[in-house]
Structure 1
């Protein structure tokens, strides 16, 4: 295919049409007239030899090909934007880029405030967008990172991607202070018999500590599943439930919740939180700047005696 014969403006039109599924709404989104976008749709239909949008009552549906193109358009536009946003000289004070970071509420609570503050000092015109990651995002991290700047995630989920380690954390158990089943210490038998609060719990989404526990023959009796690490303490308070929590997060639990921290009664592998990104971002000067700021913040967190 000869790209010189293609009008790359049609890529923008295609993205808007597939997302809006309406010529009228797509035209409004692009600040174009409806006839102009209708003409673009005609060219796209001719190029792909496919209707792309087919009427169904008062709305339009995507054809099977259009459904495939929807995600490809987003990836392609992101790559085009990276190409034309590249500059020979970079001044953080003048940068107006938005950085999108996928993380859990745990990672956000540990690094988010200090990282946002540091970015504001060095690059006041930059925007930081934090979004919650999910098992589906983690399963498709390589593709998602083409349109996202970085994902903060412990080792054990991703491989073959550029990354830098941020900090190390330990796993601890948490339980209500008045849990009658726990007396002088938390035991392996407690892990087997007490009800649990866990995160995610899908075949590909689990904490490494949970997987290690199962390898030891300890199968948790799961009673509550939550996507939020921060809500675990509230799910424990006043109940006989237990959970595995990162120590840095456990130390921040409010005393009013009546939750106590117990050592894990087996040798558990520490958690190593890392930032991961797509290889396309390796030489991006703005992305490198963002990573440098993040590395500086992570170093201060790692050496803070109140967070270890």
Structure 2
């Protein structure tokens, strides 16, 4: 005798779960069809079947487009963990041996993290998994708008904390910390221990600054917040590593990450000086999609990244 719950599940086409998830996320039949890789009529037919099953419209048409019905809102809140559990259930993991794997791991980060952490990561990965491949995508300026979707497609993002990461689909752990330094030309008359007032009167080179204003999203926002006046920005450059090249031979200053600034300390035309303020430390975090939290290969990768970061000390 088949119990009622099992019988109900046996009568459901679980392929509908895939289209239901995208319909609830996109609230648009055409976009949901594109996400799943089916035609728009096929997605419409699936929506009709789902409406019959639930006895509810799920998506209700308004003047400005579709919105979720109350039941649709409830299902949208509940479907993600169900979908991830089924995805994991029907995708059994093969046994993982780091020394033999040829898997390609994909990480998105910026050029500062690569300068501070890239070599240590490369050495640690090569020692543990010499046949593994690494794809490093370098972000310039802003990160992708849809971070959960980006993390569905790649293994990890390494970035300072941002409000966009504070969503239920994303998990994170701190990798390493850094502090601020000042970089000036060797003949700049500023002393070896500059004051904030000195920085306020000097023209600045600022990396990855979103626009001419001073939004909270700027990488230098904690530093800029300590100044009594907005600095004169002489150069904006979409690269952390390129910043010192626009300081040499000028009266400009750049406030940079200490690990990166130290790589220019042996240049005769530059000086690396202590930052005079008490801005909070720079924290770089490893971010991943929650669907990978218990996946063995990904757990291994996170452990390896943490080991590489520990080597920075």
Which string of whole-angstrom CA distances, capped at 9 and with x for unpartnered residues, describes residues 214-264 of structure 1?
Answer: 254331211111221111111111011111111111111163361111222
CA change 1:167–1:95 in 2 (3 A) is: same
Once the two structures are TM-superposed, the CA of residue 142 in structure 1 deviates from its matched residue by 2.5
Work out whether 1:196 is the aligned partner of 2:204: yes
Which string of whole-angstrom CA distances, capped at 9 and with x for unpartnered residues, describes residues 84-111 of structure 1?
Answer: 7641522223323211111111111222
Q: CA RMSD of the aligned region, Å? A: 3.6
SS in 1 for 2:105: strand
Which blocks of at least 5 consecutive residues in structure 2 are unaligned? 1-10, 19-29, 45-83
Count matched residues. 249
- Residue from 113, 121, 125 that aligns with 2:127: 121
Once the two structures are TM-superposed, the CA of residue 183 in structure 1 deviates from its matched residue by 3.6
Tell me the residue number matched to 2:118: 112
Aligned counterparts of 1:137 and 1:82: Cα–Cα separation in 2: 28
Once the two structures are TM-superposed, the CA of residue 138 in structure 1 deviates from its matched residue by 5.3
Tell me the residue number matched to 2:42: 47
Aligned counterparts of 1:261 and 1:172: Cα–Cα separation in 2: 7
Once the two structures are TM-superposed, the CA of residue 290 in structure 1 deviates from its matched residue by 0.7
Aligned counterparts of 1:93 and 1:276: Cα–Cα separation in 2: 25
CA change 1:172–1:138 in 2 (3 A) is: farther
Aligned counterparts of 1:193 and 1:135: Cα–Cα separation in 2: 26
The question of whether the paired residues in 1 share the 8 Å contact of 2:111 and 2:139 is answered with no
Which blocks of at least 5 consecutive residues in structure 1 are unaligned? 9-13, 20-40, 50-78, 303-308
Tell me the residue number matched to 1:64: none
Which moved further from structure 2: 259-268 or 242-251? Answer: 259-268
Tell me the residue number matched to 2:275: 264
Aligned counterparts of 2:171 and 2:110: Cα–Cα separation in 1: 19
Once the two structures are TM-superposed, the CA of residue 114 in structure 1 deviates from its matched residue by 2.1
Work out whether 1:98 is the aligned partner of 2:104: yes
Tell me the residue number matched to 1:140: 146
- Residue from 87, 102, 111 that aligns with 2:93: 87
Structure with the higher fraction of residues in helix conformation: 1
- Map 1:66-77 to 2 at 5 A: none
- Map 1:214-293 to 2 at 5 A: 214-253=225-264, 255-256=266-267, 258-293=269-304
CA change 1:184–1:249 in 2 (3 A) is: closer
TM-score by length of 1: 0.69
Tell me the residue number matched to 2:159: 153
CA change 1:299–1:214 in 2 (3 A) is: same
TM-score by length of 2: 0.68
CA change 1:185–1:122 in 2 (3 A) is: closer
Which moved further from structure 2: 266-275 or 214-223? Answer: 214-223
Tell me the residue number matched to 2:217: 205
CA change 1:218–1:124 in 2 (3 A) is: same
CA change 1:85–1:253 in 2 (3 A) is: farther
CA change 1:285–1:204 in 2 (3 A) is: farther
SS in 1 for 2:264: coil
Tell me the residue number matched to 2:188: 179
The question of whether the paired residues in 2 share the 8 Å contact of 1:165 and 1:274 is answered with yes
Which string of whole-angstrom CA distances, capped at 9 and with x for unpartnered residues, describes residues 259-280 of structure 1?
Answer: 1112222212111222111111
